[in-house]
Amino acid sequence: MSRPKILVTGGAGYIGSHTILRLLENNFDVVAIDSEINSTSESLSRVASFCHCDPSRLVFVKADLCVSGWETQLDLYAPYAACIHFAALKAVGDSVQNPLLYYRNNLNCLLNLLAYLDGCHCKSIVFSSSATVYGSSTNVPFTEDTEVGKGITNPYGKTKFMCEEILKDWGHSAASLRYFNPVGNHPDGFIGEDPNGVPNNLMPFVAQVAVGKRQSLQVFGGDYNTKDGTGVRDYIHVLDLADAHIAAIRYVFTGNGVDKYSVFNIGTGAGHSVLEMVNAMQKASGRVIPYTIVDRRPGDVATCYADCSLSERELGWKASRTLDDICQDIWTWQSKNPNGYR
């Protein structure tokens, strides 16, 4: 019996590579497409080596979904049982500086992909969304019924909201997974988060300070109404996130999600402050992580974490890895790969 084949866009990226690993381990075949603008196919070479899989089970296509021509390359490997769509520009700050680039890229990527899926009769997709769609809401924990689209402070978040609206109207099986804060790496340290330039997210920056690549951390805001004055976020291990995609794939083409649009929060249901994360990384690395507290950033909220009971009930999924697991796995990757994949 043949294995289901999953098309994964943005497959060479941080979340994409970890999810492809879990797809292969769960008896799916994968065709990954990636422009390598913010990633490298070295991640997938390492995945294939780790899995010792037949080369036909993981195929990589280098192409940009916004530039025509990729369709004929993907036709070579069709049909596809379902698609996971990661491909997007994702830096919040950069989206403020280059809003039209983000609207053009993120919306056109999805529109072009859906047209292709219609043409090859693939009617199931899992979409990489974001908790940024909840905008300025302060009603924590966020549930899937929390209002979305209002008070979103950056074009990146607005594109995620718009993409959700497009998928809602697409009319086939679609699940939008609203990630909170993906962190961590595979515990063996062979794949991991490798941001280009200065990291935009907290934990890759903290890890680079721990390994000596950067001098110190700036903590934005020390006067929030939280346990230690620093912002609180819901940090989820990337392998728990990858497992959520496996559950969602099964949901959209074999389970209760067939022929409907669904949304799910993907987090831990608990929050940790910036200083808690710093202290946990100091424990994992055995290194002192210097930091200074500076002014708040515009648009940041004090506390943001998820209610994930719907994901547990409908997908049969629940995050299982701890804060210690997260920080130990970050340190394993960073210490083994101080310069990332380079």
Domains by residue range for the chain, with CATH: 5-187+235-269+306-320 (3.40.50.720)
Mention every residue, 6+ apart, whose C-beta is less than 8 A from residue 315.
244, 247, 248, 251, 264
pLDDT of 255 reads 87
Give the angle subtended at the CA of 297 by the CAs of 295 and 298, to the nearest 5°: 125
Scanning the structure block, which residue is given the tokens 């993409």? Answer: 163
Q: Is 32 helix (H, G, I), strand (E, B) or coil?
A: strand
Task: For residue 341, indicate whether it is catalytic.
Answer: no
pLDDT in tens, 256-304: 889 999 999 999 999 999 999 999 999 999 999 999 999 998 778 889 9
Q: Which one of the listed residues 80, 102, 116, 156 is annotated catalytic? A: 156
Element (H, E) at 34: strand 29-34
pLDDT higher for 302 or 192?
Answer: 192
* pLDDT(196) > 90: no
d(CA 36, CA 85): 15
> Is residue 197's pLDDT more than 90?
no
Q: What is the mean pLDDT of residues 200-221?
A: 95
Q: How does pLDDT run across 16-73, given as a tens digit for each residue?
A: 999 999 999 999 999 999 999 999 999 999 999 999 989 899 999 999 999 999 999 9
Give 71-116 pLDDT, tens digit per residue.
999 999 999 999 999 999 998 888 999 999 999 999 999 999 999 9
- Which residue from 217, 193, 195 is spatially nearest to 275, judged by alpha carbons? 217
Place of tokens 């496996």: 246
DSSP one-letter code for 312? I
- pLDDT score, position 11: 98
pLDDT of residue 1: 55
Predicted pLDDT at 300 = 80
How much is the pLDDT for 110?
98
Each residue's pLDDT tens digit, 215-270: 999 999 999 999 999 999 999 999 999 999 999 999 999 888 899 999 999 999 99
> CA-CA distance, 288 to 207, in Å (whole number)?
11
Give pLDDT, residue 269: 96
In DSSP terms, which residues pair with 237 in a beta bridge? Answer: 183
Helix (H) or strand (E) holding 315: none
